[in-house]
Structure 1
Amino acid sequence: MSRSTALEGQSFHLIGVGGAGMSVVAELLKGQGAEVTGSDRQDSAVLQSLITKGIGAYFPHDADRVPEAATVIISSAIRESNPELIVARERGQNVVHRSRGLALAAEGQPFVAVAGAHGKTSTSAMIAVALLNSGVDASYAIGGPVLGEGSGARVGSEVFVAEADESDGSFLHYAPAVEVITNVEPDHLDHYASRDEFIGIFRQFVDRLIPGGTLICCAEDAGSAEISQYGRTSDGREHRVITYGRPERSIVAPEVEITDVVMTEKSAAAVFNFEGQSYPLRLGVTGEHSILNAAGAWAACVACGVDGMVAVEALGHFRGAGRRFELRGEVGGRRVYDDYAHHPTEVEVALRQARIVAGEGRVIAVFQPHLYSRTLSFADRFAEVLSGADEVVLADIYAAREDPISGVTTALVANSPKMKSGAHLVPDMDEAARKAALLTKPGDVCILIGAGDIFLRAPLVESVWLEEDGK
């Protein structure tokens, strides 16, 4: 990570520092010269990585170890009953949301914010990779490692790229120069009462654009297209609106037209047509969603002043983001992938990508639902999209920040009339992974799906295959 001294002499303590979003904020604050400590409920590879970077991370939470002079940073997942938060409030310490910590780390640089129910991490990572390979000294804060860069955080000096979290409205703390909205499909219905309320928070996000800024929206998504129209018609606006998409699938006419899309098992290609010029793209990852994300990323780079041809060539260096259809192992012609998908649309996309990679082989999916509220809201839809796999193994719900809801279990998905594939309800994660491994034959793809900790079972899947092969 690059190093500056903008925050030298300041102290920060992050509660829940092992989380994907919190860990990158810790790295960025450290990279800006601040003294950084943090805690989490349990040990993890992320926690150990932070320690090696000079961050005073520890577990479990311990009120006696909270530095008295530190600004305390929390996410929406931290409850008021957390002992460290209790002592910080009793002392009158400054307590701020993660988004404010991120905004502090971004001060002094044009902010490129990527929002949407899906695709934030991959699109943010694409922008970061493309900017860096275009010669721009970019900072970034991304909720997963950028493959090839080794981390989800970097301190640069020219542009700041970050995911903008709509789940609790905290992205309204930012004042972006560029906003990319990949989609506006209702989610987080534990926080938002209706689709209208969810759409409304994105309108407020557009209102946060600085004068002269650029709003970039996917024309293929109904919600994002609606927001693009809001951006064009808002009174007194001094910003540019750019939409992107395939003309035949777009709801509004896209300024960046995507044509000549070609998919292979390991790559994707397309042509971006913009303002009378054509820009051929070749990506080192596959999937139609990757082409869409790349179009939004390309438009963001152009909005940052990068030449269009330079930007499209720089995107070719992108090799993926951690836990976004990431290959975790291969044994005897069987491959195991990990994907962070936790909304039905994301699961559908992940399985479509798995189908491309599997070719004539089968797709075996292990799904760990994320949140009781989301499982309750989308049980039938999860069952419908999971039917895109040949075999489905369903593990227990990952609670994250929620308490259990009576009657809400993974059985809602397993027993849904929309479930068409063979469904195996195996609550224990180890046993679920083992079951999936045994179902996977040479030539097949096994994919571990969910935003919880199911990804930790990838080595177990490999070990089952090694045992089967007698190695």
Structure 2
Amino acid sequence: MSLVTPVEVVPADRLGRVHFVGIGGAGMSGIARIMLGRGIPVSGSDAKDSDLLADLRELGATTYVGHAAEHVGDATTVVVSTAIRETNPELAAARERGLLVLHRAAALASLMDGRRSVAVAGTHGKTTTTSMLTVALQHAGADPSYCIGGQLVTTGLGAADGSGDLFVAEADESDGSFLMFAPKVAIVTNVEADHLDNYASFEKVKETFARFAERVQPGGLLVVCADDPVARALGEDGARRGLTVRTYGEAADADYRVTGFTPQGFGSRFTVGERELRLSVPGRHYALNATAAYATAVELGVSADAVAEGLAGFTGARRRLEPKGEAGDVRVFDSYAHHPTELAADLRATRDYVSGLGGGRIIAVFQPHLFSRTKFFGAEFGAALGLADEVVVLDVFPAREDPIPGVTGELVADAVPHDGVVYEPDGNAAAGRVAAMAKPGDVIITMGAGDVTALGPKILELLGA
């Protein structure tokens, strides 16, 4: 995979009939859902059927299982993600016929055009912050359009076309496609080294985030985390360009300063300025995400009281420390964490939760995502997993990549700094191991961006749920 090249926004009314290659993905299906809501005819294909495809069919989309050139039909525009290779028969047919081919971010930018757009970027916390902001705005009656790289627990949706003039979108930096956006408002939660298969160095990551911040419209708003040095620097540069800049975080000089963070069960309370905020999701990192959402909504002119109430009612996004069930006084959660910083943050949040319950062990089941990421961060993954009491490491989930010789989940297992770790490449065997070792009071977390999420229900079944 390589960085995509930004293109000019194509007005949505010029897209004609749109065909999605890989329509079943979280991001692609969300864009398709919004287009259907606006009366744009949509078709699409995916490698396998799914609930998301079924939902789109109910909304009027024509969907196909499997890829074939004839599926493109009479489409005017074909939408692809970076994961779609040039050899895909539908993409090849679109190229041959001279159809308009758009990256999914360019298609999303077309839908955002003409709205007060809010783009949420950052190495970590994008999905949660976008979800929190969306829920808070909905509670305040703003009815925004939104497109999130995950699904809200409350609705099961990751995208919808709202009646209001705001459009909130998660901005993906992994392939540089967030440079397609020119938002009125941008949030940058943090900037760290990741996706080094694309960026080659952290310096390149920082340069690309700087270009994203420069895309904010003149006179726009930039909200950055004061605790993150790179995000802070982006804010300082934005202020020099005349943007309205607001900072948030635990730093003493933050405009929206977080103090008094206190875990409370599977949630927390903390103070932003003079206002106490409460959350029903755990962890200091989620408190920071909530503060980003709070600051942005208030700066957009939304009632602070309504925003606080909306955040208090936020019950999470799918796969973000999502409760999966309980059996025999053993609780199972699922986390999308797939970067060392994310693993550490979720494990610390879980430790706070377990301590509040009176103790118990944390059993982490981790599936590395991408061979390149495992190669670059194997030692860091191991160090983060050391925060758990027991660790089971699966083999690498390849996603879009071909294997790298010598790179397996064993690299991560070998880096865990205690003896409570096992490398088990077979998922079913891993579920059995975890169920056998679990004791009353323990918390089990399945972690990773791949199909490790399917192990939670298996573990619960083995525990007798």
Match of 1:26 in 2: 32
Match of 2:118 in 1: 112
Q: Using the TM superposition, give the Cα deviation of residue 317 of structure 1 relative to its aligned residue in structure 2, in angstroms.
A: 1.9
Match of 1:201 in 2: 208
Structure 2 residue 457 is matched with structure 1 residue 451 = no
Check 1:353–1:49 CA distance in 2 against 1; reply closer, same or farther (3 A cut).
farther
Q: How does 1:233-244 map to 2 (within 5 A)?
A: 233=240, 237-244=241-248
Is 1:9–1:33's contact at 8 Å kept on the other side of the alignment? no
Structure 2 residue 89 is matched with structure 1 residue 83 = yes
Match of 1:17 in 2: 23
Listed one character per residue, the Cα deviations across residues 55-94 of structure 1 (whole Å, up to 9, x for unaligned) are 2223222222122323111111111111211111111111
Is 2:17–2:74's contact at 8 Å kept on the other side of the alignment? no
Amino acid at match of 2:47: R
Check 1:62–1:457 CA distance in 2 against 1; reply closer, same or farther (3 A cut).
farther
Which residue of 148, 155, 168 maps to 1:142? 148
Match of 2:238 in 1: 231
Q: Using the TM superposition, give the Cα deviation of residue 8 of structure 1 relative to its aligned residue in structure 2, in angstroms.
A: 10
Match of 2:458 in 1: 460
Q: Percent identity?
A: 46
Q: Using the TM superposition, give the Cα deviation of residue 421 of structure 1 relative to its aligned residue in structure 2, in angstroms.
A: 4.7
Amino acid at match of 1:396: D
Q: Using the TM superposition, give the Cα deviation of residue 313 of structure 1 relative to its aligned residue in structure 2, in angstroms.
A: 2.5
Match of 2:183 in 1: 176
Amino acid at match of 1:57: T
Match of 1:365 in 2: 364
Structure-2 separation of matches of 1:47 and 1:431 = 31
Deviates more, 1:14-23 or 1:131-140: 14-23
Q: Which runs of 5+ in 1 are unaligned?
A: 1-5
Is 1:387–1:421's contact at 8 Å kept on the other side of the alignment? no
Q: Using the TM superposition, give the Cα deviation of residue 153 of structure 1 relative to its aligned residue in structure 2, in angstroms.
A: 0.6
Amino acid at match of 2:231: S
Q: Tell me the secondary structure at the aligned position of residue 230 of structure 2.
A: helix
Amino acid at match of 1:340: Y
Q: How does 1:227-306 map to 2 (within 5 A)?
A: 227-233=234-240, 237-247=241-251, 253-273=253-273, 278-306=274-302
Listed one character per residue, the Cα deviations across residues 308-341 of structure 1 (whole Å, up to 9, x for unaligned) are 2332222212111111000111112111111111
TM-score of the superposition, structure 1-length normalised?
Answer: 0.92
Aligned residues: 450
Q: Using the TM superposition, give the Cα deviation of residue 422 of structure 1 relative to its aligned residue in structure 2, in angstroms.
A: 1.4
Runs of 4+ with >4 A deviation: 6-9
Structure-2 separation of matches of 1:35 and 1:428 = 42
Q: How does 1:57-456 map to 2 (within 5 A)?
A: 57-156=63-162, 157-233=164-240, 237-247=241-251, 253-273=253-273, 278-359=274-355, 360-416=359-415, 418-456=416-454
Is 1:112–1:176's contact at 8 Å kept on the other side of the alignment? yes
Listed one character per residue, the Cα deviations across residues 17-50 of structure 1 (whole Å, up to 9, x for unaligned) are 1212111111111111111111112233333333
Is 1:145–1:322's contact at 8 Å kept on the other side of the alignment? yes
Structure-1 separation of matches of 2:391 and 2:15 = 52
Deviates more, 1:6-15 or 1:30-39: 6-15
Q: Using the TM superposition, give the Cα deviation of residue 411 of structure 1 relative to its aligned residue in structure 2, in angstroms.
A: 1.2
Check 1:44–1:429 CA distance in 2 against 1; reply closer, same or farther (3 A cut).
farther
Structure 2 residue 41 is matched with structure 1 residue 35 = yes
Amino acid at match of 2:222: L
Is 2:282–2:350's contact at 8 Å kept on the other side of the alignment? no
Structure-2 separation of matches of 1:88 and 1:429 = 38
Check 1:424–1:44 CA distance in 2 against 1; reply closer, same or farther (3 A cut).
farther
Structure-2 separation of matches of 1:409 and 1:363 = 24
Amino acid at match of 2:320: R
TM-score of the superposition, structure 2-length normalised?
Answer: 0.93
Is 1:433–1:457's contact at 8 Å kept on the other side of the alignment? yes
Q: Using the TM superposition, give the Cα deviation of residue 208 of structure 1 relative to its aligned residue in structure 2, in angstroms.
A: 0.6
Structure-1 separation of matches of 2:232 and 2:54 = 42
Match of 1:3 in 2: none
Q: Using the TM superposition, give the Cα deviation of residue 104 of structure 1 relative to its aligned residue in structure 2, in angstroms.
A: 1.4
Structure-2 separation of matches of 1:367 and 1:341 = 9
Is 1:7–1:32's contact at 8 Å kept on the other side of the alignment? no
Amino acid at match of 1:456: A
